[in-house]
Structure 1
Amino acid sequence: MSSVRLARLGDLEVASSCVAGRQFDKHSHDEFVIGANLLGEERIWLDGRSFSAGVGAITTYNPGEIQGGGAAEGQPWCYVGLYLPAAQLATSLGRAELQFERPLQHAPALATELARRVEACLSDDPLLRERGEEGVTLLLGAVAAGAGVRLAAARSIGHAAVARLQALLADNLERTPSLDLMAAELGLSKFHLLRSFQKHTGLSPRQWAMQLRTRRAQGLLRQGMAAGEVAHALGFADQSHLNRHFRAAYGISPGRYQACVRA
């Protein structure tokens, strides 16, 4: 059993690993390192301390901390990891700076959800990767809280700010703005942006943009535009992506929908 997958989304690096008996020499990272243990037990050495991380454990290491360890020989071990530059993590969470106080927390549900979001980040589908980045960003608040970092209360952005971001998304459907650009537009951290927008709309910004894309696709198909042209005009990666999202929203393929409304 040996599988290691890596992806980079801007400053965020994610990894998913399934290995047997992997051991790491003592080393350090320039970035914050967040891990979620999904299978097996990891023995950890961290700056002179030794402890174990079992299934459902989340580990949080500060930049520069010396770490080492791994799984026992022959033992299956699966985990996901996040690597975030110090300034990037602090900015994402709305802090000038931060440091994890606790390196270990037992949070099985959070570990499972983090793994699900990392899998999305590793997808070949660009839309799923974007959704994965949003999901990981939202989970950083819970990870930080469990590691002893207290975040400032999220400032409500109000309906006018939500409407401004919705207008930005609507004007750029062919290419959804990055989280960094959206956060700059509203003057919020990415974490608070996502939480506030979701509170007002029930959707993340990219989910909201996707429902608008599919709604506009429906209108263009009704007017007789070919599905391939619709996909291109609205920023879908290709026609198959349009098909998948349109069917998920309306329960029917674009081609079938077009045939029905023409009948």
Structure 2
Amino acid sequence: MRFSLAGSELHVLYVVDVSEPLPESCRVVAWRPTVAGIAEVFHARIADYRYPTHSHATWTVLIVDHGAIRYDLDTRHHGAVADTVSILPPDVVHNGYPAERFGSFRKRNLYLDSGFLPYELVGRAVDASTFQDGRLRAAISALHDRLIAPDSLDVETRLALIAETFQHRLQRRPPSIREPEPTIADQLRQYLDGHVAASVTLNDAARSLQRSVPHLVRSFTKRYGISPHAYVVAKRIEAARGLLLQGMPAARVATEIGFHDQAHFTRHFKRHVSVTPARYAASADGAPQRMRRPGHGYG
């Protein structure tokens, strides 16, 4: 099944709509983005329904957009509301139901591969499943927005920083954050320059440079004033401009420079250049003649 959301086509796992009339209905939209580490994205509106006791093989990160949820995780009772973030560990049984005061809720879940956090934090997550952390919640909400039309490098960066925050929260100690390293930033830049048109991942770079992904991001951003993702996108757009002016079709340019489809390429190109790739390429036809005519100068 495929589903169109905000103009983007997604690979949807299922869409469920039970009990009418609105708004007292249960609605679910779920999909699997083509991003490593994310097993499923799950958005739901639940009313007058209790999830049976069950478990997942994944870590579950949950935010509530409206209402409140009660859930029993193993033998612990927990609740989640709109200003909290909840994390449920893999293979631990739980249920879920609307808090009586509201009778319904809207939520967004991320089901993340078991390697999202170290397995030794499972017990901590059972004891302390919910946190009040506005910055973390905003980061998770922004990640959901990016997953409508995902950019792998961007999502990988956001997910790594979210995982780091959860790890510090569950370890219950102040974060020990390594100072940014200019030399590591330079090495990462060399790595990115060598993989601009490839399927570059920060996880690969982290293994190569023996640093964590969050540390690479902080070091690079401190050194160059731009995130690794934004740097790669800018380099790809720079390469695309040259290929378009040489006459290469936009669809081929998109794949040549590392974008996974033409829509993805067009969105970034227009953001950087202000026009679509097709209009940019067409502008080259007769450009010297137009520039010599009165009223056609720029700047």
The structure 2 residue matched to 1:134, chosen from 136, 157, 163, is 157
The correspondence of residues 1-263 of structure 1 with structure 2, limited to 5 A, is: 1-7=26-32, 9-21=35-47, 22-71=49-98, 75-90=103-118, 97-98=120-121, 99-100=124-125, 102-121=128-147, 123=148, 125-127=149-151, 129-150=152-173, 153-156=176-179, 158-262=181-285, 263=287
Shift of 1:163: 2.4
Matches of 2:185 and 2:212, distance apart in 1 = 15
How many residue pairs get matched? 255
Matches of 1:56 and 1:227, distance apart in 2 = 44
Amino acid at match of 2:42: S
RMSD: 3.0
Cα displacement string for residues 193-247 of structure 1 (whole angstroms, at most 9, x for unaligned residues): 3333333333332221111000111233344444333223212234333322111
Q: Flag the 1:119–1:16 CA change in 2: closer, same or farther, 3 A.
A: farther
Matches of 2:197 and 2:257, distance apart in 1 = 5
Q: Which structure has more RCO (C-alpha within 8 Å, separation ≥ 6)?
A: 1
Q: What's the TM-score, normalizing by structure 2?
A: 0.72
Amino acid at match of 2:270: R
Matches of 2:57 and 2:253, distance apart in 1 = 44
Shift of 1:51: 3.6
Amino acid at match of 2:54: H
Runs of 5+ consecutive residues of structure 2 not aligned to the other structure: 1-25, 288-299
Runs of 5+ consecutive residues of structure 1 not aligned to the other structure: 91-95
Higher-Rg member (1/2)? 2
Q: Which has the higher helix share?
A: 1
Q: Is the 8 A contact 1:56 1:112 kept in 2?
A: no
Matches of 1:85 and 1:224, distance apart in 2 = 43
Matches of 1:148 and 1:16, distance apart in 2 = 27
